Amino acid sequence: MENEENADTANITNNADDVGTLEDLESLLQVIFHDRSLLQRAVTHHSCCPETAVHDSYDTLEFLGDAIIGAHVVEHIYRSFPDASEGEMTTLKSEVVSRRILAGIGQNMGLFPFIRVDIDNLRTFNERSRDSLCADVLEAIVGAIQIDQGSEIARDFVARTILPMVEYISQQTLDTNPKGRLQKLVLQRSGSLPRYRVLEQSGRNNDRVFTVGVFEHDFLLGMGRASSIKEAGRIAAREALELMRGTDTPA
């Protein structure tokens, strides 16, 4: 196990010195750089160049990439959720650009083997540190793409790799509190609260099934069926939200 870890560490330290490896990274990113030195810099931790870190490490590219990602995520949220409040948009944006989410994206992309870190420094890293490296490098790569390729290619890259998380995370929020989100939307739309009614009850004792409908005034927004009225109401709210999202989506 120790030999495998040392071999892995050696690869991480040396890979980005090999032009072929940079070509592999370009294939992974689906971006061909005009200036590959920018790409190498984007995957180089400052431990490899402590005396020249400002110019040779990813630190300042990470700073740039962080701002670019944040801007694209905010715009995407604004366009995708026009009825969301500023607070809801802020919460969603903060989660999407969090270290945890960006680290997961970087790990899933396979960025870690391309990262250059001084071997002595790497020995002090744990899994959390490695995740942080992937988040840093993902941001730095976005910054490098912006400088090398321009804003449109950088936007396309962010759209491919990061923006899908907006829908995923918003869906998690919808699943966590569908009744609260539906109430907010209905209040904004009509000034009334959604009302839940038990439409049907079947079965006996522990085998009961309830059908609950949620209404805006007298208009049925959605229905849910479950073994409890509370859960059936949650399912009805979730269906209503999904139908409302579908209605709001342009054909």
Q: For the chain, state the CA radius of gyration.
A: 24
The DSSP output letter for 115 is: -
Cβ neighbours, 10 Å, residue 224: 23
Residue 247, SS3?
A: helix
H or E segment and range at residue 215: strand 209-216
Helix/strand/coil (H, E, C) string of 12-43?
HHHHHHCHHHHHHHHHHHCCCCCCHHHHHHHC
Q: Which residue, among 159, 139, 42, has the nearest Cα to 99 in the 3D structure?
A: 139
Burial zone of 12 (CB within 10 Å; 0-12 exposed, 13-18 middle, 19+ buried): buried
Tokens representing 235?
């399912």
Tokens representing 98?
């969090």
State the catalytic residues: 66, 139
Residue 198, phi-psi category: left (phi > 0), alpha (psi -120 to 50), beta (remainder): beta
H or E segment and range at residue 165: helix 164-176
Adjacent-strand bridge partners of 219: 216
